[in-house]
Amino acid sequence: MSRAVKTLIESVSCACSAPSKWSKKLQSFFGQEANLQSLVGVSGSGVNYRQQKASDRFMKRLEHVRILMYSHDTFGLGHLRRCRTIAHAIVERFKGVNVIIISGSQIAGAFDFRARVDFVKIPSVIKLYNGEYDSIGEYIDLEDILMMRKLIIQRTAEAFQPDIMIVDKEPMGLKGELEPTLAMLKQMESKVILGLRDVMDSPEHLEREWAPKQMLQKMEKYYDRIWVYGPEHFWNPLGGLDVTPELQSRIRHVGFLERELPSALGDIHFLPDKYILITAGGGGDGSQLMEQVLAAREHDWQNDYPLVMVLGPFMKSENRERIRLRASGLANITVVDFESRLEVMLANAVGVVGMCGYNTFCEVLSFDRKALFVPRTHPRQEQYIRASRAREVGLCEMLTPDEAAIPQVMAKALRRLPEMARPSQFLQPGDLAGLDVICEDIERMAVARPPLSGERRREKLSAQVRAGE
């Protein structure tokens, strides 16, 4: 084993209780001395996010099907939470399916994963506000981190031998780290799927980012399907780009990804009976929104409607402390650092104030919550485009960051929020069908390409290990 991989294995950590059966296979690649418990997060909590719907339909069996998912996770929580939602829906619908999520999230171990859903933790990097990347720890160079990530991704795919791979948002992965694995999977005749958000960015920005990398050509080369996680009438994430008819034929708008509550809710926090939830997702750039809301309450001090602020795990400590101190001087404001089951808090809220990231938006629609969005406008236009389009079709209200910075404007919006119309009045049939459509597509692909038996996979894996000795 190389020093780089040893350093990686020693430095990467995630929450797990025991090695999964796949970790033993991964161990044959990394070496017997590798502690794969630090690479593979083992689940089994039994949290069921679609229990009610599952009870209403027959659970099918897809024997020996393996699905590998990739989530690069350089900023926030959105990519991992989206992959986790899809993975849970798949294993709930089908017996015999195993899913591994490759994730770069620093806090992947803070989330519950269902049985037959594991995760492999790759070293984390951070995306800076200027769009560049950097390593989190000072002890290791970014180039070494990227090399380690690429190696782990490829070795995981070799050992797991997936029938299907689902890639979240980044077609070639962070800095192209996924391309060798995609080429290998095409040789293995695995089905490869790219999942895109309903909105990626403005066409101009996406063209500047993708054209030098020949991204559309590579998407056509490697991907069998492209899922768009939103209805076609809402937005086209590739609109304005030079998409060939061949690539266009592989695109399917599946609908938004509907969320459901855990079967065992438990106690989360002591919360008011009625409240407005203020959330900025991971919180890395969410302090501005929190302080805009606080400024509005200071201006409109007679409005004491209860607020619950969830700061997020990535908010800087100095911002966190400042917000807590400021909130302590105002009535009926509860401040929570982080909650992995944010959907429970959102579902119980009268209304939501957020930035219109994809997951928050889907939860607002799923739980039919009234919403006021203050979208991020830099470095990407994604949230602004989504919030603007959603307001246009009646699903929410929106303020620009400049408008929200005016206390009188934000105060009026907060007063109006509990009286707004619910988004269900404006949704169309099929808008929230994304998870069901994905499962139907998975079944079609699995039936069209019968998976290898466990014995045949072991034979192939043994041959690969011998070849590498």
Write the single-letter amino acid at 44: G
Residue with tokens 């302090």: 287
Does residue 399 sit in the same domain as residue 450? no
At 338, which CATH number? 3.40.50.2000
- Cα(156)–Cα(252) distance, rounded to whole angstroms? 28
pLDDT at 46 over 50: no
pLDDT at 99 over 90: yes
CB atoms within 10 A of CB 274: 12
Helix (H) or strand (E) holding 291: helix 287-299
Per-residue pLDDT at 264: 60
Does residue 297 sit in the same domain as residue 372? yes
pLDDT band at 34 (very low <50, low <70, confident <90, very high): very low
| Domain-located, residue 153 | yes
pLDDT band at 15 (very low <50, low <70, confident <90, very high): very low
pLDDT band at 340 (very low <50, low <70, confident <90, very high): confident
| Domain-located, residue 40 | yes
What is the mean predicted confidence (pLDDT) over 6-27?
39
Per-residue pLDDT at 14: 36
Cα angle 372, 438, 450; round to 5: 165
| Residue 449 or 175, more confident | 175
Task: Encode pLDDT of 364-382 as tens digits.
Answer: 999 999 999 999 998 889 9
pLDDT at 47 over 50: no
pLDDT at 358 over 70: yes
* DSSP count for the chain of H helices, then E strands: 18, 16
User: In the chain, what is the straight-line distance between the N-terminal and C-terminal CA atoms, in Å?
Assistant: 11
In contact, 68 and 162? CB cutoff 8 Å = yes
In contact, 320 and 344? CB cutoff 8 Å = no
**Number of domains comprising the chain:** 2
| Residue 4 or 62, more confident | 62
Does residue 115 sit in the same domain as residue 243? yes
The encoded tokens of residue 439 equal 């499962």
CB atoms within 10 A of CB 438: 25
| Domain-located, residue 464 | no
pLDDT band at 30 (very low <50, low <70, confident <90, very high): very low
pTM of the model: 0.85
What is the mean predicted confidence (pLDDT) over 254-271?
79
What is the mean predicted confidence (pLDDT) over 141-164?
94
- Cα(417)–Cα(403) distance, rounded to whole angstroms? 16
- Cα(88)–Cα(260) distance, rounded to whole angstroms? 11
Per-residue pLDDT at 281: 83
Q: Where are the beta strands (DSSP E) in 169-253?
A: 191-197, 225-229, 251-253
pLDDT band at 354 (very low <50, low <70, confident <90, very high): very high
pLDDT at 306 over 90: yes
pLDDT band at 23 (very low <50, low <70, confident <90, very high): very low
Per-residue pLDDT at 75: 58
96 phi and psi angles, rounded to 5 deg: 85, 0
Nearest residue to 166 via CA among 388, 440, 438: 438
- Cα(231)–Cα(233) distance, rounded to whole angstroms? 6
Contacts of 137 (CB under 8 A, 6+ apart): 11
Range of the domain at 127: 3-258+433-454
Per-residue pLDDT at 7: 37
Does residue 304 sit in the same domain as residue 203? no
Peptide bond into 451 cis (omega under 30): no
- Cα(295)–Cα(279) distance, rounded to whole angstroms? 16
| Domain-located, residue 147 | yes
Give how far Cα 455 sits from Cα of 162, 459, 460, 469, Å.
15, 6, 9, 21
Per-residue pLDDT at 73: 72
- Cα(441)–Cα(433) distance, rounded to whole angstroms? 12
221 phi and psi angles, rounded to 5 deg: -70, -40
Does residue 291 sit in the same domain as residue 383? yes
Does residue 231 sit in the same domain as residue 291? no
Contacts of 176 (CB under 8 A, 6+ apart): 213
461 phi and psi angles, rounded to 5 deg: -65, -40
pLDDT at 129 over 70: no
Does residue 213 sit in the same domain as residue 280? no
In contact, 185 and 192? CB cutoff 8 Å = yes
| Domain-located, residue 376 | yes
Does residue 252 sit in the same domain as residue 140? yes
What is the mean predicted confidence (pLDDT) over 272-282?
92
What is the mean predicted confidence (pLDDT) over 55-64?
71
Does residue 383 sit in the same domain as residue 245? no
pLDDT band at 282 (very low <50, low <70, confident <90, very high): confident
pLDDT at 26 over 50: no
pLDDT at 406 over 50: yes
Per-residue pLDDT at 63: 83
Per-residue pLDDT at 138: 63
In contact, 439 and 57? CB cutoff 8 Å = no
The encoded tokens of residue 365 equal 């629609």
Nearest residue to 8 via CA among 100, 108, 110, 139: 139
pLDDT band at 128 (very low <50, low <70, confident <90, very high): low
Percentage of the chain lying above the pLDDT 90 cut: 65
pLDDT band at 98 (very low <50, low <70, confident <90, very high): very high
Cα angle 190, 118, 60; round to 5: 65
What mean pLDDT is reported for the chain?
A: 84
Per-residue pLDDT at 109: 72
| Domain-located, residue 58 | yes
Does residue 200 sit in the same domain as residue 281? no
Give how far Cα 271 sits from Cα of 277, 304, 348, 376, Å.
10, 15, 10, 28
Per-residue pLDDT at 462: 59
Does residue 38 sit in the same domain as residue 156? yes
| Domain-located, residue 468 | no
| Domain-located, residue 333 | yes
Percentage of the chain lying above the pLDDT 70 cut: 78
Does residue 246 sit in the same domain as residue 347? no
pLDDT at 272 over 80: yes
Q: Give the number of C-alpha atoms closer than 13 A to the C-alpha of residue 326, restricted to the C-beta side.
A: 17
